[in-house]
C-alpha cells in the first residue's frame, strides 16, 4: 500500500510517501511561510521526483489535530481536495499518535506534547509495545502541573517529543522528575509518523474527513465571553 501523508499541525510542514511501512521519500519545510504556500508544491515536487502521480497513491493521510487551528485546516482541506479530485480514500490521524512513532526506537512511555498556549499543552501518553505505540489515554489539552502527577506515577522516565518538548523538559527538570528528551531530528512532527499512524485504520471519503481541534478557537472563546458579559448586563 502506498500512502501519501501530510503534516501541517505546527510550525513545520511535511509530506511523505510510505509504501508498506517503508519510507519512500519525505519533504519537510520549516521556513515560517504559511502552509498554504508550501504543502501542495512539496507534494507535487516529491511525486514528480518519484515518477508518480496522486492517481498512483492508494491512500491519502493527514494529521487532523490537535494543533494549530490554521495549520490543521490547511492540511485537512488539502487532503479533502486531493481525495475528491483523484477519487482516493483518506485517513485522518491524531497528531499526537503520529508523533509517538518517533519514540519507537526509544521504547518505554512516549509523551508527545504540543504547545497549546493559555498555559496548556496538547498531550497523550503511549507505550511502545510490539514495535508500535499503544495509546494509554485520550488526546487532551492539559496544564503541565496537572500532567505532572501522571508522569510521577509511571515506573520510568517518559520520552518527550513535539514542539512543546523543550518547555515540558524545563518544567519537569524544575520539578525534579527525570525524563528523556528526543533529539532534534525526532522532536518535530512529520508526515512519516502520520503515514505510520494511518496504517490499518479505516478509510473515509474526502467529504467525511474533519479536523479535530479539542477546544474552541480564540475567536470562539472571545465570542462566548462577550455573549456571557452581555447576558450579565
∠174-115-135 over CA atoms, to 5°? Answer: 90
* pLDDT (tens digit per residue) in 12-29: 899 999 999 999 999 998
* pLDDT (tens digit per residue) in 166-188: 999 999 999 999 999 999 989 99
User: What is the value of pTM for the model shown?
Assistant: 0.91
**Does residue 44 lie in a domain region?**
yes
**Residue 73 confidence (pLDDT):** 95
Number of domains in the chain: 2
User: 141 with 164, same domain?
Assistant: yes
Q: Is 220 helix (H, G, I), strand (E, B) or coil?
A: helix
* pLDDT (tens digit per residue) in 37-83: 899 999 999 999 999 999 999 999 999 999 999 999 999 999 999 99
User: 21 with 87, same domain?
Assistant: yes
Distance CA 130, CA 134 (A): 9
**Does residue 221 lie in a domain region?**
no
User: 120 with 165, same domain?
Assistant: yes
**Residue 167's CATH number:** 3.30.420.40
Confidence bin at 194 (pLDDT 50/70/90): very high
User: 183 with 196, same domain?
Assistant: no
Distance CA 142, CA 124 (A): 9
- Structural domain span for residue 54: 2-96+189-214
Helix axes 69-86, 35-49, angle to 10 degrees: 40
User: 84 with 162, same domain?
Assistant: no
User: 31 with 116, same domain?
Assistant: no
Helix, strand, coil shares of the chain as percentages rounded to 5? 40, 25, 30
Confidence bin at 226 (pLDDT 50/70/90): low
Written as one string, the DSSP assignment of 155-216 is: SS--EEESTTHHHHHHHHHHHT---EEPPHHHHS--HHHHHHHHTTSPPB-GGG-----SS-
* pLDDT (tens digit per residue) in 109-148: 999 999 998 889 999 999 999 999 999 999 999 999 999 9
Q: 59 and 86 in contact (C-beta within 8 Å)?
A: no
**Residue 11 confidence (pLDDT):** 86
Amino acid at each position: 500500500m502506498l500512502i501519501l501523508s501530510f503534516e501541517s499541525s505546527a510550525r513545520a510542514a511535511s509530506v511523505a510517501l510510505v509504501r508498506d511501512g517503508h519510507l519512500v521519500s519525505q519533504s519537510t519545510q520549516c521556513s515560517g511561510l504559511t502552509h498554504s504556500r508550501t504543502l501542495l508544491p512539496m507534494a507535487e515536487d516529491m511525486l514528480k521526483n518519484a515518477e508518480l502521480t496522486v492517481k498512483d497513491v492508494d491512500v491519502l493521510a493527514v494529521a487532523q489535530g490537535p494543533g494549530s487551528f490554521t495549520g490543521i485546516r490547511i492540511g485537512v482541506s488539502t487532503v479533502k481536495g486531493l481525495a475528491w479530485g483523484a477519487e482516493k480514500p483518506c485517513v485522518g490521524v491524531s497528531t499526537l499518535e503520529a508523533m509517538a512513532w518517533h519514540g519507537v526506537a526509544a521504547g518505554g512511555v512516549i509523551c508527545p506534547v504540543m504547545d497549546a498556549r493559555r498555559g496548556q499543552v496538547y498531550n497523550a501518553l503511549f507505550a511502545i509495545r510490539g514495535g508500535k505505540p499503544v495509546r494509554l489515554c485520550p488526546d487532551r489539552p492539559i496544564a503541565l502541573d496537572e500532567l505532572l502527577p501522571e508522569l510521577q506515577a509511571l515506573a520510568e522516565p517518559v520520552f518527550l517529543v513535539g514542539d512543546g518538548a523543550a518547555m515540558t523538559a524545563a518544567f519537569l527538570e524544575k520539578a525534579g522528575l527525570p525524563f528523556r528528551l528526543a533529539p532534534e531530528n525526532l522532536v518535530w512532527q512529520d508526515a512519516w509518523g502520520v503515514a505510520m499512524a494511518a496504517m490499518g485504520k479505516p478509510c473515509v471519503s474526502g467529504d467525511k474527513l474533519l479536523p479535530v481541534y479539542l477546544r474552541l478557537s480564540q475567536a470562539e472563546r472571545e465570542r462566548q465571553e462577550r455573549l456571557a458579559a452581555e447576558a450579565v448586563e
